[in-house]
Amino acid sequence: MNILVVDDDIPSARMTSYLLEEAGYRVFRAHDASNILQLIEQHNPDLILLDVMMPKIDGFEVCRQIRRNSDIPIIFLSARHQLQDRVMGLQIGGDDYLVKPFEPSELLARVEAVLRRRNADVLNTSTRLSQGNITLDPVEHKVLFTDGRVVELTPLEFRLLYYLMKNSGRILNVTQILSKVWGYDYEGESNLVAVYIRRLRTKVEEDPDHPRHVITVRNLGYKFEP
């Protein structure tokens, strides 16, 4: 799991990062949130720990910017302990709010709880989903192209494409795909994903050997590009 720590207090950010790394997370730090969207694209975090009181742009405004483009979980870390601050943080899209100073065990528990809720979400393929020139019809498991073409998919092919499109632009590794598309109890070989990716490309790509939408990211996984 990748966690992005955004805090202008360098000693505090270092300590938070150390705690998370000791717990097994991969941590990236930023001390200025002015380029937050670029940082998210660069590091592809599973969770953001966001300080509220920062120069140039405060954590609340940073959260608003992120929520225009992403539903990445956000935990606010702040010395501002007033009720209205905690309420504001949650109302604008934060998943939790932890007041500084905090106990290391509480921080780790909050992080684990937010990630557990995030990962427990069932892949919901009951609503139409559109990205670029592709729309998915969940009723008939069809792919609708803007040029009028219609392609039928098997249920598993549909779930796989839906998951990739729902996370458009984000790299998904094989473990994530197996968990969400096949289910947590799946114990098969990981090359199953590669097999289905190839099948999917033959149906949705104009040139399956040179895909434009279902992209392989070498040594990392797969992503969908609109």
Query: Does residue 184 surpass a pLDDT of 70?
Result: no
pLDDT at 107 over 50: yes
Longest dimension (CA), the chain: 58
Average pLDDT, the chain: 87
Could you say which architecture CATH assigns to the domain 129-224? Orthogonal Bundle (1.10)
- pLDDT for position 198: 92
Is residue 25 scored above 70 in pLDDT? yes
DSSP letter (8 states) at residue 180: I
190 falls in which pLDDT band (50, 70, 90)? low
First-residue to last-residue Cα distance in the chain = 25
Measured CA distances, 167 to 8, 155, 163 (Å): 29, 18, 6
Considering 35-39, 86-90, 158-162, 192-196, the range whose residues carry the highest mean pLDDT is: 158-162
**127 or 17, greater pLDDT:** 17
Please state, in angstroms and rounded to a whole number, the distance separating the CA atoms of residues 21 and 27.
Answer: 6
187-196, Cβ contacts within 8 angstroms, sequence gap of 24 or more: 193/160, 193/222, 196/156, 196/157, 196/160
More confident position, 56 or 125: 56
- Here the tokens at position 82 are 């007033």
Over range 136-152, report the average pLDDT: 91
Q: Which of 70-74, 83-87, 158-162, 189-193 has the lowest mean pLDDT?
A: 189-193
Alpha carbon distance 116, 170 (integer Å)? 19
Q: Which class is 2-119 in CATH?
A: alpha beta
Phi then psi for 117, rounded to 5 degrees?
A: -65, -40
pLDDT of 18 reads 95
**Looking at the chain, which residues constitute the CATH 3.40.50.2300 domain(s)?**
2-119
pLDDT value at 135 more than 80: yes
**pLDDT value of residue 120:** 55
